[in-house]
Amino acid sequence: MGVSIEVNNLNAWYGTNHTLQDITLHIPANEATALIGPSGCGKSTFVRCLNRMHETNPIAKVTGEVRVGGLDIYSETSAVEVRRRIGMVFQRPNPFPTMSIYDNVASGLRLNGYRNRRTLDEVVERSLKQSALWDEVKDELKKKSGASLSGGQQQRLCIARALAVDPEVLLMDEPASALDPVSTAKIEDLIFQLKSQYTIVIVTHNMQQAARVAERTGFFLNGRLVEFDSTHKIFTNPGDKRTEDYITGRFG
Amino acid sequence: MILRIQEPRTPKPADDEPIGGLVPVVVSPQASTVRTFLVSRGSSSIADSTFRWLMLLCALSIFAIVALIATELVTHSQITLAKFGWKFFLGSAWDPVNANFGALPFVYGTLVSSILALILAVPLAIGVAVFLTEMCPRALRGFLSFMTELLAAIPSVVYGLWAIFVLVPLLREHVDPLLIRLLGWTGLFAPPDFGIGMFAAGVILAIMILPIISSLTREVMTAVPHSQREAVLALGATRWEMIRMGVLRNARIGIVGSIILGLGRALGETMAVAMVIGSSPTISKSLLAPAATMASVIANEFAEASDDTYRSALIEIALALFLVTIVVNMFARLLVWAVTRGTPARVA
Amino acid sequence: MASGLAVLATILVIAPLVAIFIDLVYKGASSLNLNFFTKLPAPVGENGGGMANAIVGSAVLLTLASAIGVPIGIAAGIYLSEYGRGTKLSNVVRFTADVLNGVPSIVMGIAVYALIVVPEKSFSAFAGGVVLGIMMVPTVARTTEEMLLMVPHSIREAALGLGVPAWRSVLSITLRTAMPGVITGCMLAFARVAGETAPLLFTALGNDFWSTSLRQPIEALPLQIYVYALGAYDEWHRLAWAGSLVLIALIVVSVSLVRYVTTRGVLKGAA
C-alpha cells in the first residue's frame, strides 16, 4: 500500500544553479500524480529529491522538508533507507548488464542482504507479473541477460525490479520517453494497474500521457511549481495563464 | 477543451493513507516479509564510510610508496652523502678497494646511451606513428599496433639475452666495421671493438623505447581534431603537407612529451644494458668501448659490494636515478596531459 | 617519398621484433622438454637440467605480488573513479601513479632491499614478492579506474535507487560490470612484473635449490635467464632461451587477452 508525500518549502541547487524554488505540495497516497513542464523546468530534479537521489551528485544541495508517510526523509532517516521504501524507474532502461532477468528483479533484495530462496522466487514471479513481463520471459528467467531484452521489455524489467522491494512509492522519471508507441502504451497500462497499490509520481513531457494516467497533475516552470490540481482541472480549466499557454502548446 | 480527458478508472481511496508509513503494508504475505526485512536493515552508514576510507587509504598508499622509496634511499646512502657531498657526481674515480667513489662515469654512460637511443629511436617512432595513424590500411593497423604493444611487453632480460647472442655478433661483424670505416675520423667509432659496449647498449635501448614513443605519439596524433586536418587539406595541401602541418605541428608538444617519457624509460633501463654494455667505469670517446650506466653499475656490483661505503655509494646512485626519473616523468606526463586532456591517458 | 620513409620506419621497427620472435621460438623450442619443467638445474658442466625451481619460485613470487598489488591497486582505482572523481586529491594520486610507473625497477629493488632485507639480515622471497607487488599497484590502479569509468552512470543510479548501500553497489554492480576489463588490467600488470629481473637481484636473490619458503632466497625465471645468459656453457644458453620462450608465451597470452577484451565486448550490453 502506498503512502502520501508531503513537501514543504523544498529548494534544490546544482552548484550555483537554483533549480527548485520553494516547492510545497501534497501528493496523496495510492494515486498517480503527473509532473509536466518544459525541459529544464525542474520536474526531474523534484522527483530525484523525493528519494534523495539528487544528492548523489556532489555539487547538488537541498533544503526544505519532504515527508514520506509522515517521516521526514532528510532529517529522520538515511538516504539508503529512504530509497528502499521508494522505487525509482529512470528515463532510459538500465538493467544490470551482467545479470540474468531473475537476478535483475531479485537484485534489490539480494544486494540488501536477503537470502531466502523460496521467497525470492515468489517475489520475482509476482513482480514480473505485476509488470506484465512474466509471460514473455518466464522460460528463460535465469538464462537470458537483462540487457538482451528489447527496450520496452527492459523498462518493464526495471519496473519489476523496483516493485520487487515492495516500495510504498514509485517514482518514474519519463519512463516511456525512450520507447516506441506500443511499449509506451504498455507502460501506461501498467501504471493504471499499479496505482491502486502504490503512490505513483510520474514525470512526463507528454501531456496526453499525464492526462491518460494521472489523477493529479503539477505544472513546473523555471524551477517553480506553477499549478497543482486534479488532472481534469489542469487540462480543462487551468487556473494560471502560464499553464494554459503550456498545455495549449503556445510555448515549450 | 484541448485534450479529451478520460476520467481515472481506478476509484480514489476515501481517505489519504494515515501518517506513519513505516508500518509495512500488505500486498501479499511474502511482500510483507520482504518489507519487514528491508525496514530492519540499517542505514549501513558505518560500512559505507569504512569502505570509503579503506579505498582512500589504498589510493594514498601510492604516495606512501613514493615516500617510502625516497626515505629508504636517503637513509641508506648517508655515508657517501656525508663523505662526498655533491662532488660524488663530479668525481670520475670509481675505486671500491680504496673506498673512493665518483659517479661521473655512470652519469656519463647513462646520458650517452640514452641520447644515442633517442637519436636512433625517435625518427623511427614518429615514422611508425605517422604510418599507423595516417596511411596504414585498417586491417594492418590493428596487427601492427598489437605488435608494438607486444614489443613493449617483452621483459628486459629477454632483450638482453637476444642482444648478447644475436645483436652483438651482428654489430661486431657487420655494422661496427662499417661505422669505423665511414665515421672513424670522428673518433666516436674507434677500435678495439668487442661488440659489447656503449653503442650496443644504445641500440638495444632504442629497440626497447621505440614502442613507448610510437604508441604515445600515435595517441597524441589521434587526439588532433579532424577539423585541423580538413582545414589544411581544404587549402589544397598534399597528404604529406597535411600530416606535417595539420597533424605533426598540432601534436608537437605531445610528441615531445612522449619522447621525454621514452627518455625516462631509457635512463632507468637496467638488465638489457647491464648485459651488453661491458661494465667498465670509464669515460671513453669511442662509442664502441665498454662503459657502464647508473642502473647497470647497481645491477652488476651491488651483490658484491661488501662494505657499507660501497653499498652506500651504489644506493646514492639509485637515489639520483630515482630523482632524475621522477622529474623527467613528471615533465613528460604534464606535456602529454596538456595535449590529450579530455581523453584519458593510457597506461604506458 | 615521405610515405616511403614511414613504411621503411615501420619495417625497421617490426624487423627486430620478428627477429626476436623467430630466435626465441627457434632456439627456445629446441631446448624445451619435460625436463625443463620438472628438473632442478644440473650441476655446472652437466647436461639435462631444468628450471623447475625457477618456475615454482616465480609462481610463489607472483602469487605474493598479486596478493599485495591487486587488492591495493583495485581499491585505489575504485577511489579514483567512484569517490574522488574530479577532485584535486585524485588528480594528484593519478599523476603520482603515472610517475611511479616510470621509476626504474632497480630503484624499487634497492628501496625494498633497504626496507626488508637489511633489517631481516636475509634475502627472501618475501622481499621479492613485496617489490613486485608494489610495482603492480600503479598499473592496476590506473587500468581499474579506466575500466570503471566505462561503466554507464545509469547502472550506478539503478543500484543506488534500490537503496543498495554505496559499498555494495560499487562492489556488486560497478566493479562486477567492469570485471572483465579489471581482470585483464591485472593480467597486464602481472605480465609486466613476471619478466622483471632487476628488482629481484637484491631481494629474492636466486636459489639453485627447491625453496618455497617466504623467508629464504628463492629462484625466479627471469633471474635464472639472466644468470644463464651470462654463463659460459652452451647448455645454460639453451636453457636461457627456453626460459625466455616460456616467459614470452605467458606475456603474449596476457597481452592478447587484454587486447581482445579492450577492443571488443568489455561491457557488452552496458553501453
pLDDT tens-digit series, residues B258-283: 899 899 999 999 999 999 999 999 99
Does the structure show a pLDDT above 50 at B20?
A: no
List pLDDT tens digits, range A135-149.
999 999 999 999 999
Q: Which one of A1, A166, A248 makes the best mutation probe of the B interface by having the most chain B beta carbons within 10 Å?
A: A166
A127 in a structural domain: no
Q: Is the dihedral of CA A44, A49, A51, A56 positive or negative?
A: positive
How far apart are the CA of C121 and the nearest CA of chain B, in angstroms?
Answer: 14
HSE (CB half, 13 Å, CA atoms) of C241?
24
Residue C267 pLDDT > 50? no
pLDDT for residue B226 is more than 90: no
Write down the pLDDT at residue C2. Answer: 67
Residue C10 in domain: no
Domain assignment of residue A218, yes or no = yes
Min distance C89 CA to chain B CA atoms (Å): 9
Which positions in chain B touch C170 (Cβ < 8 Å)?
A: 51
Binning pLDDT at 50, 70 and 90, where does residue C268 land?
very low
Of B3, B13, B34, the CB nearest to A29: B13
CB-CB under 8 Å, A161 with C160: no
Query: Could C159 and A96 be called an inter-chain contact, meaning their C-beta atoms sit closer than 8 Å?
Result: yes
Dihedral sign, Cα of residue C151, residue C152, residue C155, residue C157? positive
Which secondary structure element, helix H or strand E, spans residue A169, and what is its range?
Answer: strand A169-173
Q: Per mean pLDDT, which range of A246-250, B30-34, C266-270 is the poorest?
A: C266-270
Cβ contact B61–C170 (<8 Å): no
Q: Which residues contact A68 (CB under 8 A, 6 or more apart)?
A: A3, A5, A6, A50, A82, A85, A86, A168, A169, B21
Q: Residue C100: exposed, middle, or buried by beta-carbon count in 10 A (0-12, 13-18, 19+)?
A: buried
- Residue contact B347–C139, C-beta within 8 A: yes
For C136-150, the pLDDT digits (tens) are: 999 999 999 999 999
What's residue C263's pLDDT?
64
The answer to whether position A138 is within a domain reads: no
Do C102 and B264 contact (CB within 8 A), yes or no?
yes
Q: Is residue C198 part of a domain?
A: yes
Query: Is B34 within 8 Å of A77 when comparing Cβ atoms?
Result: no
Least confident of A79-88, A145-154, B336-345, C25-34: B336-345
Q: Which of A44, A80, A82, A172 to mutate to test the interface with C (most CBs of C within 10 A)?
A: A80
Question: pLDDT tens, B107-151?
Answer: 999 999 999 999 999 999 888 888 888 777 777 777 777 777 777
* Per-residue confidence (pLDDT) for residue B18, from 0 to 100: 39
Per-residue confidence band for B232, with pLDDT thresholds at 50, 70 and 90: confident
State the distance between the two ends of chain B, measured CA to CA, in whole angstroms: 66
Residue B10 confidence (pLDDT):
43
Q: Is A66 within a domain?
A: yes
Lowest mean pLDDT among B235-239, B291-295, C20-24: B235-239
Shortest distance, CA A1 to any CA of chain B (angstroms): 5
* Residue A190 lies inside a defined structural domain of this protein: yes
Instruction: Judge whether C240 lies within some domain.
Output: yes
CB count within 10 Å of CB A76 equals 12
Using CA coordinates, name the residue in chain B closest to A67.
Answer: B19
Amino acid letter, B280:
S
Q: Residue C6 domain-assigned?
A: no
Question: Is C119 in CB contact (< 8 Å) with chain B?
Answer: no
| DSSP letter, residue A7 | E
C193-230: pLDDT as tens digits: 999 999 999 999 998 888 888 999 999 999 999 999 99
Beta carbons of B45 and A80 less than 8 Å apart: yes
In the block, cell 678495439 appears at B192
Can you tell me the mean pLDDT for A156-185?
Answer: 92
Centroid of chain to Cα A95: 16
Range of the domain at A38: 5-93+167-247
Determine, for residues C251 and B153 on separate chains, whether the beta-carbon distance falls below 8 Å: yes
Q: Could you tell me if C142 lies within 8 Å of chain B, comparing CB atoms? A: yes
Tell me the CATH class for B68-340: mainly alpha
pLDDT tens-digit readout, B31-68: 468 888 888 888 888 999 999 999 999 999 999 999 99
Identify all chain C residues contacting B53, using CB atoms and an 8 Å cutoff. none
Per the structure, the count of domains in chain A is 1
Confidence of residue C242 (pLDDT cuts 50, 70, 90): very high
Q: What chain B residue is nearest to A199 in terms of C-alpha separation?
A: B17
* Structural domain range at position C163: 23-39+49-263
Contact: B127, C5; criterion CB under 8 Å = yes
Q: Give the count of domains, chain C.
A: 1
Contact, C97 vs C76, CB < 8 A?
yes
Whether A209 shows a pLDDT value over 70: the answer reads yes
Question: pLDDT tens digit string along A84-139?
Answer: 999 999 999 999 999 999 999 999 999 999 999 999 999 999 999 999 999 999 99
Residue C243 to residue C54: CA distance in whole angstroms: 9
Highest mean pLDDT among A237-251, B54-68, B304-318, B324-338: B54-68
Q: What is the CATH number of the domain that holds C66?
A: 1.10.3720.10
pLDDT at residue B14 is higher than 70: no
Q: pLDDT per residue over C161-185, tens digit each?
A: 999 999 999 999 999 999 888 988 8
Q: What is the C-alpha to C-alpha distance for residues C16 and A170, in angstroms, rounded to an integer?
A: 64
Cell matching residue A207: 501531456
Residue A103 lies in a domain: no
Residue B2 binned pLDDT confidence (cut-offs 50, 70, 90): very low
Exposed/middle/buried for residue A240 (C-beta within 10 Å: 0-12, 13-18, 19+): middle
| Contacts made by residues B298-304, CB under 8 angstroms, sequence distance 24+ | B298/B270, B298/C106, B298/C110, B299/B270, B299/B271, B299/B274, B299/C106, B299/C198, B299/C201, B300/B274, B301/B96, B302/C110, B302/C201, B302/C202, B303/C201, B303/C202
Contact (Cβ atoms closer than 8 angstroms) between residue B132 and residue B143: no
Set of chain B residues whose Cβ sits within 8 Å of the Cβ of C194: 155
User: Are B22 and A235 a contacting pair at CB < 8 A?
Assistant: no
Q: What percent of chain B has pLDDT over 90?
A: 49
Q: What is the pLDDT of residues C6-63, one digit of tens each?
A: 788 888 878 887 888 888 888 888 888 888 888 888 877 777 788 899 999 999 999 9
Assess if residue C204 is contained within a domain.
yes
Q: Measure in Å the smallest separation between the Cα of C227 and chain B Cα atoms.
A: 10
In angstroms, the CA B305 to CA B79 distance is 14
Q: Do C10 and B321 make contact, defined as CB atoms within 8 angstroms?
A: no
User: B17 and A29: CB-CB below 8 Å?
Assistant: yes
pLDDT category at B341 given cuts 50, 70, 90 is low
Residue C106 pLDDT: 96
CATH number at residue A239: 3.40.50.300
Indicate whether A84 belongs to any domain: yes
Could you tell me which residue, B83 or C266, shows the higher pLDDT? B83
Q: What share of chain B is helix, strand, coil (3-state, %, to 5)?
A: 70, 0, 25
C191 interaction partners in chain B (CB closer than 8 Å): 153
Binary contact (A29, B16; C-beta < 8 A): yes
Q: Per the structure block, which three cell numbers stand in for A200?
A: 505513483
> How far is it, in rounded angstroms, from Cα B348 to Cα B133?
18
Partner-chain contact C159 A162, CB within 8 Å: no
* Residue C80 resides in a domain: yes
Strand bridging mode A169-173 / A199-203 = parallel
Chain C closest CA to B57's CA: distance in Å?
8
> Where is pLDDT greater, at A46 or C28?
A46
Res A251: pLDDT: 65
Omega into A97 within 30° of 0, i.e. cis?
Answer: no
Interface list for A 200-239 with C (CB within 8 A): none
Report the residue of chain B nearest A167, measured CA to CA. Answer: B35
What average pLDDT is seen over chain B? 84
Using the predicted structure, report yes or no on whether residue A57 has a pLDDT greater than 90.
Answer: no
What are the grid coordinates assigned to B126, written together?
614518429
Kindly list the residues from chain C whose CB atom is less than 8 angstroms away from the CB atom of residue A56: 157, 160
Kindly identify which residue of chain A lies nearest to residue B31, measuring between CA atoms.
Answer: A166
